Amino acid sequence: MTPAPGGPPVSASVSVLRRAVRRARKLGKRVRAACAVACLRVRNLLARGPVTGAAGVVVSLTTHGDRIRTVSIGIESIARGTVRPQRLVLWLDSPEDVAACPASLRRLERRGLEILAASDYGTANYGPHTKYYPYVTSVPRHTVPLVTADDDIVYPPKWLAQLVDAAERHPGSVSAHWVSIMGVEGDQIAGYGTWRRARDTAERPANFATGVSGVIYPPAMLEELRLRADGFLDSCRRADDIWLKWVALRAGIPVRQVGPVPRHFPIIPGSQGQTLMSTNVGENQNDHCIRGLFSAEDVAALGASAASHQLN
């Protein structure tokens, strides 16, 4: 194609158009998130129905600091789902935090939300591992899957239904809405920021489930986590996804994506004052944790998986 006389090159025009489309999509996503948050705030004030239901899973999440004031929005988004879990548990660090809960969480508690102190089940601060580890230790024998959620996300109505369906179709797998493929360079794992996103639902050792959009873990994974205990405190205290991936790899538990494309759901506006992203990704702490945790044998297994994916 020949550009019009005096006009910009076609490649430059296409690039400008693509940037404009991306900006429009981001703006639309922010507007939809703001509207959803407004509706969920009203729902929290008026709803009387239970937050739990008949789905044979437990949903667990944690929050701390300023996010205690906004986590009710994310929980309400789970409670409005087309299916609801048999238990919905929010973990806070201490009994003092539980006692100081805002009214928005007390309203959810009256509808079935369990608000528990992680310190009653071990140490006072597991960091991001609090979303799953106190639950793992609180159940004598795991027979139902666990779904983890983040405290700063607005989840769509079919979020949990899709995870439950994936677990029913692949009961021995970890299934997630957002999966990356761990890359390997030579004899080491490539930098976290270079990993490609999965574009299929295939099962492969190099699949890495990212917790932000929700992950469902089978009972076998929960038992394995119990056996590994709190080893994450020494190896990757602030990087729960890395520890969970390493445990799944060592246990031979496969990871797969729920759908053909990864999904990152809207962020609750105003919830990003406290985030691990700037440290774990921006300061390369993820790479430091990965290098300290994954052995040469682990890297070899991941390399074979990544090479197979590139060939396909």
Encode 89-106 in three state secondary structure: EEEECCHHHHHCCCHHHH
Please check the confidence at residue 282 and state whether its pLDDT lies above 50. no
The answer as to whether 240 is a domain residue is yes
Q: What is the mean pLDDT of residues 120-133?
A: 87
What pTM was estimated for this model as a whole? 0.88
Compute the mean pLDDT over every residue in the chain, rounded to the nearest whole number: 90
The answer as to whether 15 is a domain residue is no
Q: What percent of the chain has pLDDT over 90?
A: 76
The answer as to whether 251 is a domain residue is yes
Q: Which residue, chain included where needed, has tokens 């390399």?
A: 303
| Amino acid type, 4 | A
- CB count within 10 Å of CB 203 equals 16
Angle between helices 240-251 and 219-228 (to 10 degrees): 110
pLDDT tens figures, 54-78: 999 999 999 999 999 999 999 999 9
pLDDT at 141: 96
Please check the confidence at residue 105 and state whether its pLDDT lies above 60. yes
CATH code for position 279: 3.90.550.10
The answer as to whether 1 is a domain residue is no
The answer as to whether 63 is a domain residue is yes
Structure tokens at 41: 């705030």
pLDDT tens figures, 188-234: 999 999 999 999 999 999 999 999 999 999 999 999 999 999 999 99
pLDDT at 279: 45
| HSE, side-chain direction, 13 A CA sphere, residue 243 | 24
Give the strand pairing for 174-176 and 215-217: antiparallel
**Confidence category of residue 297, pLDDT binned at 50, 70, 90:** very high
Contacts 24+ apart (CB under 8 A), 156-160: 156/77, 156/265, 157/80, 157/81, 157/82, 158/81, 158/82, 159/77, 159/78, 159/81, 159/214, 159/265, 160/55, 160/57, 160/59, 160/78, 160/81, 160/82, 160/83, 160/84, 160/85, 160/214
The answer as to whether 3 is a domain residue is no
Please check the confidence at residue 25 and state whether its pLDDT lies above 90. no
Please check the confidence at residue 127 and state whether its pLDDT lies above 60. yes
* Helix (H/G/I), strand (E/B), else coil: 55: strand
pLDDT tens figures, 227-259: 999 999 998 999 999 999 999 999 999 999 999
Please check the confidence at residue 94 and state whether its pLDDT lies above 90. yes
The answer as to whether 46 is a domain residue is yes
Structure tokens at 31: 């507007």
CA dist list (Å): 131 to 176, 191, 211: 15, 26, 10
Domain count, the chain: 1
284 φ/ψ sector (left φ>0, alpha ψ -120 to 50, else beta):
left
Closest CA to 58 of 158, 166, 209, 164: 164
Q: What is the mean pLDDT of residues 179-184?
A: 96
- 167 in Cβ contact with 220 (< 8 Å): no
Q: How far apart are CA 206 and CA 179, in angstroms?
A: 10
* Greatest Cα-to-Cα distance within the chain, rounded to the nearest angstrom: 75
Task: Name the residue range of residue 290's domain.
Answer: 20-311
Closest CA to 68 of 214, 223, 268, 211: 268
Task: Work out the burial of residue 216: count CB atoms within 10 Å of its CB; fewer than 13 is exposed, 13-18 middle, 19 or more buried.
Answer: buried
The answer as to whether 140 is a domain residue is yes
